[in-house]
Amino acid sequence: VVKAFEMEIIPANRIVAQIGETLILTCNTTGCASPRFSWRTQMDNPLGGTVNNHRTYSTLTMNPVSIVNSHDYLCTVFCGEKEKKEKSIKVELYSFPSDPIIEIHPSLVAGEPITVVCKIPDVYPSDHLELLLKKEEHVLREANFYADDSTNTETKNVTYSFNPTAEDIGKEITCVAKLPIANMDFEPKERVTSQKLNTNFGPQNTIITVYPGNSPMEGDSLKLICMTESNPPPQVVWGKYLANKSIQHLIENHVLSIPHAHFTDSGLYICEVVNLVTNKTENATVDIVIQGAPKIAELSIEPSTRVQEGENVSIQCSAESNPPPKIILRRKSDSADMGLYGDGRILLPSVTFLNGGDYECVAENKFGKSKSEITLNVEFPPKNITVLVYPSENVKEGENVTITCSTYSNPPSQMVLKKLHQGKEIILPSVNGTFILYNVTKNDTGRYLLDVFNEVGSSIKVIEISVVGRLEKTDQMILLVIAFSSVAAIAVPVVAVLIYVSRKAKINGSYSLVKALRLKV
């Protein structure tokens, strides 16, 4: 069954929309495979919206709806070349977006005149607006705007001035706004706002309460509460006085909480309360003193923990506590009666290596003490260099020569042994600063330079080594011959005497060396 070509507009015929909201008009078709859509106003005014065409329907979106959309809109649909259908819809607008606003000027003070203002924001059409201002059930003012000819949204208001009495305090001011438009279906058509008449005063009698007290221990939780009398409730601002008398802003709240109190939280706190209606300000102050054992805040060496001999050094120590701590700064290696003491500071002009070492700072009060250490590293070049040559600087060929060097320095020294040979330096190897010349020859004779150095400085020691040559084998034979000849020259005459004596003994039967000598004489 083929459906007949039909169309409809959704919503149909008439729509009531509030200015500022979103309105979507839909033009729908049936019985046409490829319809073409056209939107226009009956007076050919701008559409004031966005058209989106789909296969069988088209939408006109007004976002947001404004006063320019108050028209009759016509949707035309073409099906093929001959068929055409169109329908219209009337868009009617209103604006009644919010409840009335009540303002009272100036602040309400008993006996002084005030003006009550009731405002209706962004209303349209205002020529239908009715306002009623009353105190409790007593009508103060009625107004309508039937003669108004505004063509857009406007804010309308009514005012009423009177002198409030003490009996008026606490009574309710009510503003009723109505927008009764015949034949327009929308809700609400009536809006109501009420506000009590309150006497504005203060702030006054402002005090600060501190829990657990003004002198808590370090680490305790601390709560400062600012209390005052004021209507309306005031704005509360906490601050703290700094060393230069300026005030550091902390928080806008009647309670200032410090979860873990620290020594730096000590000081003078101020609570400032401001009544923005009465335009009056009052403040209160409290002095907070945090107590506890000392904590080393700083232990430092200037210009650095690593210096060279001759520099000026300052060692400083500071601690936080209440009551104030006694501070002792000294070198750990010194005995109690010989050490360098300082009330938080030690000055070392033209420092030497003897000043190096660990320094400790001790801070103490009645709640306890704390201690911290720092090391001063004094660097200096090699000192007291001692060079030993074993067995001697004068040795024979084939012997081993050991050269050892001892010194002290910071940082530790390095040692290099050099030999001067034909104007050049020959670097000789070492083992842990010990140099060994194995099986020396005459070629090892000469001048040696021992360079002892570190990052700070250096020193050179000169060593003269002399190597004497050993005797050759031919020379040894000559000496043996000479020695043998000398012995022979003495031994031959002695042997001759012994032979002569022996023979004499055989003739006489006995021999007296004494007699023989006498006879010979």
pLDDT of residue 472: 52
How many whole angstroms separate alpha carbon 214 and alpha carbon 208? 11
Task: Give residues with Cβ within 8 angstroms of 81, minimum separation 6.
Answer: none
**Cβ pair 316, 302 in contact under 8 A:** yes
Identify the DSSP state of 397.
T
- Convert the pLDDT of each residue in 31-55 to its tens digit: 998 999 999 998 888 899 999 999 9
- Helix (H) / strand (E) containing 327: strand 326-331
Report the amino acid identity of residue 473: K
Mean pLDDT of 104-124: 83
Provide the residue count of the chain: 521
Least reliable range by pLDDT among 41-45, 68-72, 98-102, 502-506: 502-506
Instruction: Give the model's confidence band at 61: pLDDT under 50 very low, under 70 low, under 90 confident, else very high.
Output: very high
Least reliable range by pLDDT among 411-420, 445-454, 492-501: 492-501
Kindly state the tokens that stand for 296.
């080393």
How many whole angstroms separate alpha carbon 361 and alpha carbon 342? 9
Task: Give residues with Cβ within 8 angstroms of 323, minimum separation 6.
Answer: 291, 365, 366
User: What phi and psi values does residue 308 have, to the nearest 5 degrees?
Assistant: -110, 155
Q: Determine the 3-state secondary structure of 196 from DSSP.
A: strand
Which segments of 126-215 are extended strands (E)?
130-135, 138-144, 154-162, 172-178, 190-196, 201-211
- Helix (H) / strand (E) containing 474: helix 473-508
- Convert the pLDDT of each residue in 311-349 to its tens digit: 999 999 999 888 999 999 988 887 544 455 667 888 999
Report the amino acid identity of residue 9: I
Cα–chain center distance at 361 = 27
**Cβ pair 452, 459 in contact under 8 A:** yes
- Convert the pLDDT of each residue in 473-489 to its tens digit: 444 444 443 444 443 44
Counting residues of the chain whose pLDDT is more than 90, the rounded percentage is 66
Mean pLDDT of 238-252: 94
**Cβ pair 10, 28 in contact under 8 A:** yes
Report the amino acid identity of residue 25: L
* Domains of the chain as residue ranges with CATH: 6-94 (2.60.40.10), 101-199 (2.60.40.10), 205-288 (2.60.40.10), 293-379 (2.60.40.10), 391-465 (2.60.40.10)
Asked whether the predicted pLDDT for residue 87 surpasses 70, the reply is: yes
pLDDT of residue 311: 94
How many whole angstroms separate alpha carbon 198 and alpha carbon 515? 168
**Cβ pair 78, 5 in contact under 8 A:** no
**Cβ pair 297, 268 in contact under 8 A:** no
Task: Give residues with Cβ within 8 angstroms of 481, minimum separation 6.
Answer: none
Q: Is the pTM of this model over 0.85?
A: no
